[in-house]
Structure 1
Amino acid sequence: METSLDAHAGGSTPARTVAPDEDVLTDGVHILTAVLLVVALLSSVQLPFGEAALNLLLCSGFAVLYFYGSAQLPEWREPARMVWLMALTGLWIIAMLVAPVGIYLVFSLFFLYLRVMDDIRGVVSVIFATAIAVITQIPGGLTVGGVMGPAVSAAVVLAIHYAFRTLWRINREREELIDQLIATRSQLAETERAAGVAEERQRLAHEIHDTVAQGLSSIQMLLHSVERDLTGLGLAEDRLAKPLRMLELARTTAADNLGETRAMIATLQPASLSETSLGDALERMAAGFAAAGELAIVVDVEGDGRQLPMRTEAALLRIAQGAVGNVAKHAGATRCRVTVTYEPDEVRLDVVDNGRGFDPAEVQTRPAGLGHIGLAAMRQRAVELGGVLEVEGTPGAGSAVSVAIPLADDAAGPTGDQVTGDPPSTLNAQSTEDDTDEGWQA
């Protein structure tokens, strides 16, 4: 991760901690500075005693100030860092005037300028130090080497700084991408696990509904038929009492088991659909999202509302939750409308908002899982039921999610003929009985 020592506005917060990659360059600069200071100290043997003593004092002061400041730099605020740089620059200029070999310490200053001021100020400071290094040579005679040395050094340092910054940026982006991939993989694993659990629960609910519940309903109807036939035989009441009592017991047992079966089916379907219709479940979902933020959500039901297959209602509810969740979290909308439309051959769900909108084509170009896993999950739910999900949006003009799921002719639930296989006339004749009506609700 890139962690330059850029100053925050107003110098109100300390600089950030240096990253491990930046430590490599910093350690290299420390070694370079130490070598240059040793060379500057050794040059004192060629100087008169007074100048040699002053050079030793200046080099020692530069060394102490440099290494102390480098250790404290991450904790200092911008004003302290700027004072530290100016102090080092002043010592360097004086040392350069005392011993010409001190000019080489400009290497260290170049790196420090760019490290502390990682912007145009750092570049300007490098140019300024280069000009000072050239100007101080004028009294002793300026040469091409005297100009090219500092200039080339400045160019090399700028190139090194740019190269390291580019590598740090690429490394940071790679780490962020890896983090996103890991998070996406975890999210996909959790989503797949939850989807697998939900799918298995729905499969069990379908199986129980289509076998046990409908079988118990058929048993109740058949017991009604037997009771009616026995009563129509004209037998004495004392002879009918025991058979009718046994029939009543059988009917009660079947009704009790049917109630338990219904409760089992209810626990296997989404909680919001267990005791309410799809419209009511959507109203409860909308109220939850509206209470969590400043978003007005309206739910409309159009057409002849009816009970749909459990899997279809569960999918529509989950898609609506995902779409409204996206609106609440990302759209910045103030109004949202959820519409369920019942057609003879299909059911359609539309979620429209007045938010900031987006470009659906641009979203489709993103790698799977990076920021739009919810949309992919909604589309997958629709495809599993043979439906189609469409997304429309315009930046600045809101967005809309629409899903259409086809319905079979028997979408409202199996009929008595399908449950028992008995002739229609036999079963339809029982449809007026109270327990028969109750049985069809399974």
Structure 2
Amino acid sequence: METSLDPRAGVEKLRRTQAPDEDALNDGVHILTTTLLIAALVSSVNLPFGEAALNLLLCSGFAVLYFYGTTLQPAWRERTSLAWLAALTLLWVLAMVVSPVSIYLLFPLFFLYLRVMDDVRGVVAVLAATAASVLTQAPTGLTMGGVMGPAVSAAVVLAIHYAFRTLVRISREREELIAQLIATRTQLAETERAAGVAEERQRLAHEIHDTVAQGLSSIQMLLHSAERDLQNLGLTEQQLAGPNRFISLARTTARDNLGEARAMIAALQPASLSETSLQGALERMASGFAAAGELTIEVGVEGDGRQLPMRTEAALLRIAQGAVGNVAKHAGATRCRVTVTYEPDEVRLDVVDNGSGFDPSEVEQRPAGLGHIGLDAIRQRAAEQGGSLEVESSPGYGTAVSVAIPLPVGAAPGATLEADPSSGI
């Protein structure tokens, strides 16, 4: 199965690279700048020779500095970018003094200000450049067009920048959502597969226990009864030798096969449960999570602890693993307590931590599968056992996860759940 896609890695990659729409906007600004530079250069025809030469020099310097900088600027430090903007602004002011047509180079400068200083400084720079373009016209007399042109251009660029940034933000949020959906789908597929395998193993274990193992145990009991009845028939030792030999062989064969059936049942159980009790399995699980991080995990048992059905114990262990895993990975907790409470008609598992907590109602409103996927898995496992899940949490005050699973009537204290005591299973 394919490995899960990390949505955070995808988002970081998007932040390190420009979106295709941003490249298209930059290309458009480059074309606009080229057109304006050509117009400024052509205006040199109407200027005296000295001013025309100076205008050609300034416009050429602006062009070289502009295209060189826009290619390398994304890799520059902020100070270098600001120095580059200052140099471009100085060339623009000088070119505007020499040739009034150069005032239109203000338009691409607006985009550069907002691109390099994507905060309030960019807006201030746009307003300052607008004021400078208007003031340079003061010696020759201000006109309505001379004032409105730069002002309207500034307003249009600010509107375009705001709209474009909004589109980029929405696009990146969409990419992040897609990455989360892919990761969620993969994780859910893995969870469903693991749950299906575990459920099938449990089913096989129950089938072997309820059929083969119980049948072999019954055969042993029947052979024992047959041997006892033969002894009551008053036959001689010689007469009993043959039947007793076959009965003994049958009992040995049944015992050996019963041992193999037990081994198969143990192999189909979770490994930790096949080697120890539920409490012991929980303590081993807790020590594993505690060793992986700075987390103290306590395991406690309340009530009259007893053997539970194999299916129930396996479900409780998996639920505890999921809940403690969530604490270790997401809660930022330093302490956690796992408690198993035995009641006459149910068993309850509580996992409480002192972590950062969250808003359960906010999580429930998210699209299915997004965030807190572990809670969905816990709820599903509890539902498979006829149980229920309760989550109590609030930001900054830790989390309490409680799962209650009803027990069959035969699970009362002192009762044997798996088989008749005489069967030895």
* TM-score class, shorter: over 0.9
Kindly provide the amino acid, as one letter, of the partner of residue 128 in structure 1.
A
Offset of residue 275 of structure 1? 2.1
Offset of residue 359 of structure 1? 2.3
Correspondence 1:39 to 2:39: yes
Number of aligned residue pairs: 412
| Cα distance between partner residues in 2 of 1:34 and 1:179 | 39
Offset of residue 185 of structure 1? 1.1
Aligned twin of 2:157: 157
Offset of residue 231 of structure 1? 2.1
Residues 1:196 and 1:16: Cα distance change in structure 2 (over 3 Å): closer
| Cα distance between partner residues in 2 of 1:150 and 1:164 | 21
Aligned twin of 2:218: 218
Correspondence 1:259 to 2:243: no
**CA deviation string 1:238-285 (max 9, x = no partner):** 222222121111111111111111111111121111222111111111
| Cα distance between partner residues in 1 of 2:113 and 2:419 | 83
Offset of residue 325 of structure 1? 1.0
Give 1:413's match in structure 2, choosing from 402, 410, 417.
417
1:177-192 superposed matches below 5 A: 177-192=177-192
Aligned twin of 2:374: 374
| Cα distance between partner residues in 1 of 2:228 and 2:140 | 129
Offset of residue 415 of structure 1? 4.7
Runs of 4+ in 1 over 4 A off after TM superposition: none
Q: In structure 2, the residue corresponding to 1:167 is in which secondary structure? A: helix
| Cα distance between partner residues in 2 of 1:359 and 1:403 | 19
Aligned twin of 1:117: 117
**TM-score, normalised by the number of residues in structure 1:** 0.90
| Cα distance between partner residues in 2 of 1:415 and 1:171 | 61
| Cα distance between partner residues in 2 of 1:16 and 1:409 | 61
Kindly provide the amino acid, as one letter, of the partner of residue 108 in structure 1.
P
Contact kept? 1:336, 1:354, Cα under 8 Å:
yes
Aligned twin of 1:317: 317
Aligned twin of 2:234: 234
Residues 1:25 and 1:372: Cα distance change in structure 2 (over 3 Å): same
1:38-437 superposed matches below 5 A: 38-411=38-411, 412-413=416-417, 415-416=419-420, 437=422
Indicate the larger mover: 314-323 or 270-279: 270-279
Offset of residue 16 of structure 1? 4.5
Aligned twin of 2:7: none
**CA deviation string 1:113-150 (max 9, x = no partner):** 01111111111111111111011001111111111111
Contact kept? 2:389, 2:401, Cα under 8 Å:
yes
Q: In structure 2, the residue corresponding to 1:165 is in which secondary structure? A: helix
Offset of residue 162 of structure 1? 0.5
| Cα distance between partner residues in 1 of 2:393 and 2:116 | 45
| Cα distance between partner residues in 1 of 2:322 and 2:98 | 74
Offset of residue 19 of structure 1? 2.5
Offset of residue 194 of structure 1? 1.3
| Cα distance between partner residues in 1 of 2:298 and 2:76 | 54
| Cα distance between partner residues in 1 of 2:389 and 2:382 | 6
| Cα distance between partner residues in 2 of 1:40 and 1:414 | 93
Aligned CA RMSD, in angstroms, stands at 1.9
Aligned twin of 1:428: none
Indicate the larger mover: 361-370 or 170-179: 361-370
Q: In structure 1, the residue corresponding to 2:140 is in which secondary structure? A: coil
Indicate the larger mover: 154-163 or 342-351: 342-351
Structure 1 unaligned spans of 5+: 4-14, 417-430, 432-436
Aligned twin of 1:440: 424
Offset of residue 2 of structure 1? 9.2
Structure 2 unaligned spans of 5+: 1-9
Q: In structure 1, the residue corresponding to 2:350 is in which secondary structure? A: strand
| Cα distance between partner residues in 2 of 1:57 and 1:29 | 22
Indicate the larger mover: 244-253 or 99-108: 244-253
**CA deviation string 1:51-106 (max 9, x = no partner):** 11111111111111111111111221111111111111111011001111010000
Q: In structure 2, the residue corresponding to 1:333 is in which secondary structure? A: coil
Contact kept? 1:2, 1:168, Cα under 8 Å:
no
